[in-house]
Structure 1
Amino acid sequence: MCSSSLLMQILVATFLIFILKGVCGATFTFVNKCSYTVWPGILGQPVLDTTGFELIKGNSRSLQAPVGWSGRFWGRTGCNFDGSGHGSCGTADCGSGEIECKGAGATPPATLAEFTLGSGPSTQDFYDVSLVDGYNIQMIVEVNGGSGGCGTTGCVNDLNRRCPSELKVASGGACRSACEAFGTPEYCCKGAFGSPESCRPTA
């Protein structure tokens, strides 16, 4: 019997993921509060019950992850899949040619929710929302319960509206990172710009 001690929710703009942690691992619940359909993609070890699925606006879906699971979630948008699950997405496509990502990660730009679950009920979980691979949708990770004082993290602003024109892709549906777009040290925080002091925000 699993006992649960921590409920964590990941919200993407209006796309949401909850995590319920217990001695058997964690339950991730994805909730789509967007005004459009989102196709979550999943990459992690060990592999969960699915690596990608459709989530219509207003709907939710839960997945169980074992203790020690490590991986990432992202929301694909503008997808077109046929009745057999073959197709592709306009943003954050995983390149598998199917609704299931099957071990493939998101093609940038993609907003990522990254997790490393502790190896047991007394060990810490780590999570973040990363824009290192660019941005395509708003995302929030929110924790309810537990004793670790875990807080909400993520990006609630629609960065596509403020994306510089040279970084826009998918007709403004996503925003590339400057590192991916230009590959220079000042945007990739490497070389002479490899420290927090030298790698400063840019336009």
Structure 2
Amino acid sequence: MITLLRLSIPAILCARVVDARWFTVMNNCPFTIWCMFTDLSAGTAVPLFATGWEAAAFTSVGFAVPDNWKAGRIWGRRDCDFTITTGPTCLDGWCNGGLLCDPTTGTGVPPASVAEWTLQGDGNLDFYDVSLVDGYNLPMAITNNVNCPVADCLVDLGPGCPDPLKGPFDSTGFPVGCQSACAANIDGNPTDSANCCSGSHSTPETCPPSGVQFYDYFKGNCPNAYAYAFDESSGTALWTCDSGLNADYTLTFCP
């Protein structure tokens, strides 16, 4: 049974609730810590909610999100120790800033499965996706209340992860993550890499999926997720919803 915590919204936001969406983040996993980040270079409207919070198993939080939230990211992290002041604070998905991710540098450290949104984007569309571009650490699904498409990665990619990408590992030796070929630096040149779509491979034409090592592992197991930087060509990576529908979104970890 999921316990939902609908956190209070400041009065100023309540007065304009019609201009906001409701986001629900559900934890169907064992104990985990969740994080949220907004790229402030893309837009300054941010949710009135903490950038990191502790979620016990089988609980949810709900919060209002501005209609024009741009370049927002939510991901998970686990096995954290926030008494650490430098270096990794969590086994996976950690960010700069401890429990609260720093608002300017606090993106998730790979490998991390990431849910991404831009609301009221080009063409008055919401854009959203589940991204494995930074690798994988938790299964997740983005659903909504207006029957727009579902973005998801439902498979635990850790156990079957190719050996060059596998890890990190928990205290029992179980793989809790699967790195991207870019993060694993398989080709040894991240500044000019087909795996990273960098340097001479920095366009969709020069960085096709056929040149990205282990692309088929990620896309084959999670066909509705972004498997590499230019995966829009697959038609099943970036999803849209008419912004006029004012969709509310639910992100479920371990759906």
Query: What TM-score results when the alignment is normalised by the length of structure 1?
Result: 0.75
Name 2:158's counterpart in structure 1. Answer: 160
- The answer as to whether partners of 1:110 and 1:131 remain within 8 angstroms in 2 is yes
How far did 1:23 drift?
3.4
**Residues 30/186 of structure 1: CA separation in 2 closer, same or farther (3 Å cut):** same
Amino acid in the other structure paired with 1:173: V
Task: Assess, with a 3 A threshold, how the Cα gap between structure 1 residues 179 and 66 changes in structure 2: closer, same or farther.
Answer: same
Consecutive unaligned residues of structure 2, counting only runs of 5 or more, are 3-16, 39-43, 170-174, 188-192, 218-255
**Which structure dedicates a bigger proportion of its chain to strand?**
1
Q: CA deviation at 1:88?
A: 2.1
Q: RMSD of aligned C-alpha atoms?
A: 2.5
* Aligned residue runs from structure 1 range 21-40, under 5 A: 23-34=18-29, 36-40=30-34
User: Would you say the 8 A contact 1:118–1:124 is kept in 2?
Assistant: yes
Residues 200 and 176 of structure 1: is their aligned pair in 2 closer, same or farther, counting only changes over 3 Å?
closer
Q: Quick one: distance in 1 between partners of 2:22 and 2:167? A: 33
Matches within 5 A, 1:1-203: 23-34=18-29, 36-44=30-38, 45-48=44-47, 49-70=49-70, 71-81=72-82, 88-96=89-97, 98-103=98-103, 104-118=106-120, 123-145=124-146, 149-171=147-169, 172-182=175-185, 184=187, 185-190=193-198, 191=200, 194-196=206-208, 199=211, 202=214
CA distance in 1, matches of 2:89, 2:208: 37
1:5 alignment counterpart: none
Matches of 1:118 and 1:162, distance apart in 2: 37
* Stretch deviating more after TM superposition (48-57 or 187-196): 187-196
**Long gaps (5+) in structure 1:** 1-13, 15-21
In structure 2, what is the Cα distance between the partners aligned to 1:178 and 1:125?
Answer: 29
Q: Distance in 2 between matches of 1:95 and 1:43?
A: 11
Q: CA deviation at 1:174?
A: 1.0
> What amino acid does structure 1 have at the position aligned with 2:194?
E
After TM superposition, give the deviation of residue 165 of structure 1 in Å.
2.0
Q: Secondary structure at the match of 1:179?
A: coil
Q: What's the offset of the Cα at 1:125?
A: 0.9
Amino acid at match of 1:37: F
Q: Is the alpha carbon distance of 1:198 and 1:47 closer, same or farther for their aligned partners in structure 2, counting shifts above 3 Å?
A: same
1:134 maps to a residue whose letter is G
Q: Deviations over 1:72-95 (max 9, x none)?
A: 00011112346xxxx921100002
Task: Figure out how many residues of one structure are paired with residues of the other and give that number.
Answer: 172
What SS does structure 2 have at the residue aligned with 1:166? helix
| Contact in 2 for aligned 1:111/1:137 (Cα 8 Å) | yes
Q: Give, as a single letter, the amino acid of the residue that structure 2 aligns with 1:150.
A: C
Partners of 2:212 and 2:37 in 1: how far apart?
31
Indicate the SS of the match to 1:28.
strand
Distance 2:82 2:207 in 1: 43
Supply the distance in 1 between the matched residues of 2:76 and 2:143 (Cα, whole angstroms): 16
Give the Å deviation of 1:200: 5.2
Alpha-carbon contact 1:68-1:118 (below 8 Å) kept: yes
CA contact (8 A) 1:26 1:65 kept: yes
Other structure's SS at 1:42 match: strand
